[in-house]
Chains A and B, each alone.
Chain A
Amino acid sequence: MNFDFSDDQKQLRDQARKFLTEKCSPKAVRIVLDGKAPYDKALWKGLAEMGFLGVAIPEEFGGAGAGHLELCVIAEEMGRANAPVPFSSTVYLAAEALLIAGSDAQKKKWLPAIASGEAIGTLALFEGKGNPSPKNVKVTAANGMLNGVKKPVADGAIADFAVVAARTGSSGRENDISLFLVDLKDAGVEVKSLTNLDPTRGQAEISFKDCKAEPLGAAGDGWSILTQVLDRAAVLCAFEQVGGADRALEMGRDYALDRIAFGRQIGSFQAIKHMLADMYVSATLARSNSYYGAWALSTNAAELPEAAAAARISATQAFQHCAKNNIQVHGGMGFTWEFDCHMYYRRANAMALGLGSLTYWEDQLIDRMRKKNAA
């Protein structure tokens, strides 16, 4: 049994950590947080140059062709650094949708542009409140024209293109939904930035009015493709969340060692020690579940749907738990703007919603476990 990343993959992780420590300090993140830039363009360019944006994109489409395990280790570091770039929307959602369902021409057009950092992509799925569900898709596509409003769309205001889920039938079933590729510079597209919980990753409202739409995948296959995209993104996001959880734990630990109260390091109080121990436990469980997700993702195993849901739930809980208690360890300083704790708290809670809420993933997990048990 070798249920671990290889030495090469660990080396890549070290390389990514070193790069991000240098280029993505909390100070750099704050430029985006403070609204002085929509994302860190220099970092984005650097990530492209390092080959990180295209690490799982095949060489024939301009990527490094390394694979998804490599993408997982990079994702962890993106989360650890709290990177203010559209990595998840472009790399986990848009690129994965193209890899799964894109025609050769579509892949040739967009994937090299993603790998080189020239194109930012996203997935436009949600339409207000509610979880991923065919019945929540109201945007229509007919005669090659899209109409309707999507929100929130992650990184929608800076994206060059979007994969859009739209209704093409009225049977009330999953095969009513189809996917489309939309160049967001096209006529009929209107994009509006939305304020949101985590300003380091923007959200937008995108309106389509008789907008040109190019099918992605076969008509009626939209929901099945989306489910695959969400599962794959769930594993990759889980690694970001594990990275974030680890960093929050580390911040809490460091503060507990530095801060003196009642004449002692606060980390010597059992109440604080045990809180940090519990953070370690949740981060470890999340890491192990995510490793299983990584294995399933990289081998395209039949277990992927179940593994993805487990990784998603576990990592979401761990990041929220660690980010929240990191603030508690910091006491009053923890919820000041000056300290970095809130950046991880924001990211943890925003990421918890990005692919649908925990409720959605809990449902998915139980359905998939039942299916497996029945089989």
Chain B
Amino acid sequence: MNFDDTPQEAEFRATARAWIGANAPKQYEDELRKSSLGRTQLKNANILEVAKAWQKKKADAGWACLHWPKEYGGRGSSPIERVIWQQEEGPFGKLSHMFIIGHGMCGPTMMAFAREEHKRAYLPPLASGEKVWCQLFSEPAGGSDVAGLRTRAEKDGDEWVINGQKIWTSGAHYSDYGILLTRTDPTVPKHKGLTMFFLDMKSPGVEVRPIKQASGASDFNEVYFTNVRIPDHQRLGEVGDGWNVSLTTLMNERMSIGAGVSTGFPELFEYCSSLMLDDGPAIEDRAVRAKLANWAVKASGLRYTSMRAISALSKGERPGPENSIGKLVAGSMIQDVATYALDLQGAAGVVSGPEDAEVAGRFQAMLLRAPGTRVEGGTDEIMRNIIAERVLGLPGDIRVDKDVPFNKIPTKGRG
């Protein structure tokens, strides 16, 4: 048992470290390091531009999308090399946030289901950050129940005509392309009538409306489709096989989201180490220590759970399902941590806005962003179902709509 690199891993790490040291945009390092959940922004620069520039630089030197094949703009690296890269990239990795959906989900789905000429045309500019992608799955009627979606795609000659609405689409407002899950047959049970496409987000009839979140930020959007036309060659997988195609995307989504999730603990520990309460330093208060210790072991438990997964990768094994607990544990933890940090400030916690006080602003941003973490990429409840069913082997939920044609499923709870 050790934490050591193999000689090959050490060599890779040294090469990566040297390149990052020479090329990363160091002027933003401190700001990025101090950013936490809900608060990744640069004071004097447009973060999207900085991120695109860094991604392009990486791509030109062969450091973009490490695990992708070279012909699609990647490096053909092993999974463990990807992990080492992420460790070395450190705070600069936060710049990749707006590419996560494209790199983590759309890219792999394209790779699995797109035509070869499309892969060669679309994947390299996605890898290099020149083109940004989004994932158009969720709808007002289909969040956790993704297969309950209603956006229609109807065949018209060699094209499909799309009408409907998507919601919670991260980054749609700056995306160039998207992968889109639609209903092509409402007369069969819900999982059987879906079909997946990719499309140009600038297509006529696509309208993106940013959603203002509880935090005041707008990371997500509603996307409306009015007679949007998509050529049939942009279909991913067979007609009616969209559910299976989307499973590839969703599996990748949970891996991506679980990997880099923050807990808020380092921020809280640092804060409590310097905070003075009425009776003395917070860190010497019995009640504060008990809280900190409880969160400390959750944070370290997650850290070493991911080390175990990395070790499995290092041996060429697939990480086990224990990886899926990251988002579940961290989501509610960061919410609790932020609540507690504000509580420690007493009444001041409520008024100290992000501009007024560095510390309160940090935890307020966390507090307001945390509910999203518990929902995106599968709610806490869906994650628990996954653990219960796929890890512990418990029965699936009873689904009363399973064999019912989609257009016969009730749409309202009351009346």
Chain A residues packing against B (C-beta within 8 Å): 1-6, 69, 249, 253, 256-257, 264-265, 267-268, 270, 272-274, 276-278, 280-281, 284-286, 288-289, 291-292, 294-295, 298-299, 309-310, 313-314, 317, 359, 361-363, 365-366, 369-370, 373
Contacts and interface: CB of A to CB of B under 8 A. Distances in A.
Interface in B295-344: 296-298, 300-305, 307-308, 310-312, 314-315, 322, 325, 328-329
Given A3-B304, A273-B394, A310-B300, 4 more contacts: A1-B307, A3-B308, A281-B328, A366-B296
Contact of B304 (A6, A253, A265, A288): A288
B388 interface: yes
B273 interface: yes
B3 to A, nearest CB: 5
Given A270-B381, A281-B328, A366 B305 contact: no
A281 B300 contact: no
A359 to B, nearest CB: 7
Contacts of B381: 270, 274
A285 B296 contact: no
Interface in B340-399: 381, 383-385, 387-389, 391-398
Contacts of A309: 293
A277 B387 contact: yes
Given A3-B311, A285-B329, A273 B389 contact: yes
Contacts of A278: 384
Contacts of A286: 301
B384 A277 contact: yes
B384 A273 contact: yes
A366 B283 contact: yes
A6 B312 CA distance: 12
B411 interface: no
A245 B184 CA distance: 48
Nearest to A292: B304
B392 A276 contact: yes
Contact of A280 (B297, B385, B391): B391
B311 A273 contact: no
Given A1-B3, A3-B3, A267 B294 contact: no
A362 B311 contact: no
A190 B391 CA distance: 52
Contact of B384 (A265, A274, A314, A362): A274
A367 B273 CA distance: 11
Contact of A369 (B5, B294, B296, B325): B296
A167 B71 CA distance: 73
A288 B308 contact: yes
A299 B396 CA distance: 44
A274 B283 contact: no
A interface SS class:
helix
B297 A2 contact: no
A4 B1 contact: yes
Nearest to B2: A2
A273 B388 CA distance: 5
Contact of B296 (A277, A280, A284, A310): A310
B293 A366 contact: yes
A359 B314 contact: no
Contact of B325 (A4, A281, A294): A281
B292 A276 contact: no
A292 B306 CA distance: 12
A253 B392 CA distance: 7
A314 B297 contact: yes
A1 B397 CA distance: 38
Contacts of A291: 1, 304, 308
B307 A267 contact: no
B1 A6 contact: yes
B251 interface: no
**Which 10 A-B residue pairs are closest in the complex by CB-CB distance?**
A285-B301, A362-B293, A273-B388, A288-B304, A277-B384, A268-B395, A277-B387, A314-B297, A288-B305, A267-B394
Nearest to A252: B392
A1 B394 contact: no
Contacts of B302: 285, 288
Residue with the highest number of chain B CB atoms closer than 10 Å, among A6, A249, A366: A366
Contacts of A2: 1-2, 4, 311, 314-315
B394 A295 contact: no
A365 B296 contact: yes
B290 interface: yes
B28 interface: no
B392 A284 contact: no
A178 B328 CA distance: 47
Residue with the highest number of chain B CB atoms closer than 10 Å, among A6, A257, A313: A313
Contacts of A359: 290
B78 to A, nearest CB: 13
Given A257-B394, A273-B385, A289 B300 contact: yes
Given A276-B388, A370-B283, A256 B394 contact: yes
A359 B1 CA distance: 30
Nearest to A284: B322
A226 to B, nearest CB: 21
Contacts of A267: 388, 394-395
B353 to A, nearest CB: 28
20 contacts: A1-B2, A3-B308, A4-B315, A253-B394, A264-B395, A270-B385, A280-B325, A285-B297, A285-B305, A288-B303, A288-B305, A288-B322, A291-B1, A295-B2, A299-B2, A309-B293, A359-B290, A362-B290, A363-B289, A366-B292
Interface string B38-49: 000000000000
B113 interface: no
A23 B412 CA distance: 59
